[in-house]
Amino acid sequence: MDAAPKDRQPLWYRRYGLHLLSEVAFGTPVQAPPSGQPDLCVKYETAGPPWEEELAGENLAEQRLASGELRYQLVRDGSGYHLRVHKVADFFMDDSVCRLACRPWPHVLPGLAEAVLQATVLAFALSLRGHTVLHASAVLADGSALAFAGPSGAGKSTVAALLCAGGATLLADDLVRIEPGPCLVGTGPGTSLRLRNGARRAVELFEVRPPSHEAVDNRLVIQPPSGGDHPRRLRALVFPVLVAGSGELRAGRVQGAGSVVQLVRAARIGGWQAHDFQRRFFEAMVKVAQEVPAWRLTVPCGPPLEPLAPSAVMAALDRR
């Protein structure tokens, strides 16, 4: 049995400044660009090597679970790049990363391969195209672009949701593209937030409840107002710390090597084996740390959970 949907018609999407022509949905469809040419074509694939066969080629990235089981592996072979997300899907990219094919594993949960494609796989594609990506969420607060960075479970999406409930607009969740400036490039039309169980109550705090649905990984996906995907100068990097109870927001500067360390911990892709990718990411983080103020922000999360006013966050950052 093959899990790839049949007869899907490709539609146009915007993601992180790229025009996608894709059989896989990426948020809200858009009009074709004036050139009529996509930056990246995405399609489903049914053919490929046997699932039990080890990947052949130069090993570029590999990450394993605590049990030792492979989570994902990226290799470069004679036809381009082959990314395997274990028991989810194989993804094939050409050398220029202009074409991407998704081959779901047999009996994979419906929607899981697509969810991985829109996050982890897109992060790999952007990195292979030479872009810098962070594990971060981002909002437009009082006209300023703020990125909330950190490893999984750090509270990035929670803080972004609380700010959006307080009037901010969403720029990105889980993945942020950073360009020289330094500028932040948002996700694009149809940007959504994926909330874990502890944060899903945030959807009830919006004055107008945003569209929402349950994801295949049991997260609540909500779609607050979007701030678009055109580049915005990055006002601040914020490393959130969520604490129980009530009280005031507390902000403290993170400078120099401390900022670099926190940014490296917020790498969207772990397990790079290729030294050139490791070096390029580290050098980019050093430059970002030099150019963008970084803060550790302590956020009381109740109970009760309450919206965050963008003005209150900006005031906390400006107090120091």
- Of 189, 195, 194, 216, whose CA–CA distance to 18 is shortest? 189
Query: Is residue 96 domain-shared with residue 202, that is, in the same domain?
Result: no
Number of domains in the chain: 2
273-276-147 Cα angle (round to 5): 90
In a domain, 222, yes or no: yes
Over residues 200-221, the pLDDT tens digits come to: 999 999 999 999 999 998 999 9
The rounded distance, in Å, linking the Cα atoms of 135 and 120 is 10
pTM over 0.85? The answer is yes
The CATH number linked to 184 is 3.40.50
Query: Is residue 180 domain-shared with residue 310, that is, in the same domain?
Result: yes
Query: Is residue 147 domain-shared with residue 274, that is, in the same domain?
Result: yes
CA torsion angle for 166, 169, 175, 181 (degrees, to 10)? -120
Predicted local distance difference test score (pLDDT) of residue 302: 87
Query: Is residue 100 domain-shared with residue 147, that is, in the same domain?
Result: no
In a domain, 240, yes or no: yes
Establish how many alpha carbons lie within 13 A of residue 140's alpha carbon, considering only the half-sphere containing its beta carbon: 20
Tokens of 180: 């020289």
Residue type, 161: A
Average pLDDT, the chain: 93
Predicted local distance difference test score (pLDDT) of residue 290: 94
Query: Is residue 261 domain-shared with residue 284, that is, in the same domain?
Result: yes
In a domain, 5, yes or no: no
The answer to whether 182 and 176 are in contact (CB under 8 A) is no
The answer to whether 241 and 297 are in contact (CB under 8 A) is yes
Predicted local distance difference test score (pLDDT) of residue 320: 56
Query: Is residue 98 domain-shared with residue 237, that is, in the same domain?
Result: no
- Of 243, 232, 241, 245, whose CA–CA distance to 295 is shortest? 241
Query: Is residue 122 domain-shared with residue 71, that is, in the same domain?
Result: yes
Task: Tell me the residue range of the domain where 243 lies.
Answer: 134-318
In a domain, 3, yes or no: no
Q: Which residues in the chain come in under a pLDDT of 50?
A: 1-2
Query: Is residue 205 domain-shared with residue 125, that is, in the same domain?
Result: no
